[in-house]
């Protein structure tokens, strides 16, 4: 019955290892127990990069090629190559604090493999992720209430965003002058369901609101004249292109007046007497002595 040899204590070596090369890959030789070979090939930072535990140490002036290490024991067994980290992100056991979601802080510890691992949950988390937006109820002209998360991971104030030009269904109108007499005409448009103005409709007919007259029209005026205001005289004015009345003309001749003319050429009214003559109402003379 063959007795199984008891492995040496952890980290013990039968002989001092020596560093060589195996096909361009650092080679560690010497009589190594099986557990030591397993440790080296585990690919951990502590054993794969430094190879310092158990008395194994690679030449410091020769970085491992492609992160691989070849290990062979002193009995002449075939060389074994296994992947190891080309570089370590951290020193195993080191700790640090880094930013995490929503402005929080995360504690980390360096693993034996030389990579950072989270410890516990992300602490000091804010209300939101910086730059995130939250939408609310409708507002204004087809707008929506929204707020944005600040750089400090807290919500900013609500604002009405995305508003259109007008309230849906609201009519709009526009006037312009027309004609030469101060007239106006109108056209309209309606705000569509997306809160943007629709197309303008056609212009309405020209409407005169304060027109005094029609250009070219004439207006006459008259007054009494002559003896006992028995006659009439007239004057006229013409409507200007601006639909306003022009100036009055002078008074015309007194028409329908009845009067008498004396020998000296003076006109006298009916009933006038002089030198036994009286002016009749028909403009003739009659003897009055």
The pLDDT tens digits for 86-113 are: 457 888 899 999 999 999 999 999 998 8
The pLDDT tens digits for 40-58 are: 444 444 444 433 333 333 3
Mean pLDDT lowest among 80-89, 167-176, 186-195, 248-257: 80-89
Instruction: State the sign of the Cα–Cα–Cα–Cα dihedral 87, 89, 93, 94.
Output: positive
Please state whether beta strands 95-100 and 104-110 pair in parallel, antiparallel, or not at all (unpaired).
Answer: antiparallel
The pLDDT tens digits for 104-141 are: 999 999 998 888 999 999 999 999 999 999 999 999 99
Nearest Cα to Cα of residue 197 among 160, 172, 177, 163: 172
Helices (H), the chain: 34-40
The pLDDT tens digits for 183-192 are: 889 999 999 9
Considering the entire predicted model, what is its pTM? 0.41
The pLDDT tens digits for 252-285 are: 888 877 778 776 667 777 766 677 777 776 666 6
Judge contact between 144 and 138, C-beta under 8 A. Answer: yes
Judge whether residue 73 has pLDDT over 60.
no
């Amino acid at each position: 019955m063959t007795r199984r040899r008891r492995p040496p204590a952890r980290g013990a070596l039968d002989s001092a290892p020596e560093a060589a090369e195996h096909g361009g890959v650092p080679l560690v030789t010497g009589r190594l127990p099986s557990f030591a070979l397993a440790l080296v090939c585990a690919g951990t930072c502590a054993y794969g990069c430094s190879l310092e535990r158990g008395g194994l140490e690679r030449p410091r002036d020769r970085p491992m090629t492609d992160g691989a290490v070849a290990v062979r024991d002193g009995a002449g067994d075939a060389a074994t190559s296994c992947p190891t980290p080309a570089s370590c992100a951290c020193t195993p056991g080191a700790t640090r604090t880094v930013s995490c979601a929503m402005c929080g802080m995360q504690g980390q510890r360096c693993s034996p493999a030389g990579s950072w691992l989270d410890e516990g949950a992300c602490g000091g988390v804010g209300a939101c992720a910086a730059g995130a937006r939250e939408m609310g109820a409708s507002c204004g002209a087809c707008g929506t209430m929204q707020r944005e998360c600040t750089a400090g991971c807290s919500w900013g104030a609500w604002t009405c965003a995305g508003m259109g030009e007008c309230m849906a269904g609201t009519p709009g109108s526009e006037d312009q002058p027309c004609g030469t007499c101060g007239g106006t005409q109108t056209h309209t448009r309606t705000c569509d369901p997306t809160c943007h103005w629709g197309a303008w409709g056609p212009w309405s007919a020209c409407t005169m609101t304060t027109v005094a007259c029609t250009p070219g029209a004439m207006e006459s005026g008259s007054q009494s004249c002559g003896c006992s205001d028995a006659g009439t005289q007239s004057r006229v004015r013409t409507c200007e292109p601006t639909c306003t009345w022009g100036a009055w003309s002078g008074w015309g001749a007194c028409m329908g007046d009845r009067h008498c003319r004396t020998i000296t050429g003076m006109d006298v009214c009916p009933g006038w007497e002089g030198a036994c003559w009286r002016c009749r109402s028909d403009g003739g003379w009659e003897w009055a002595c």
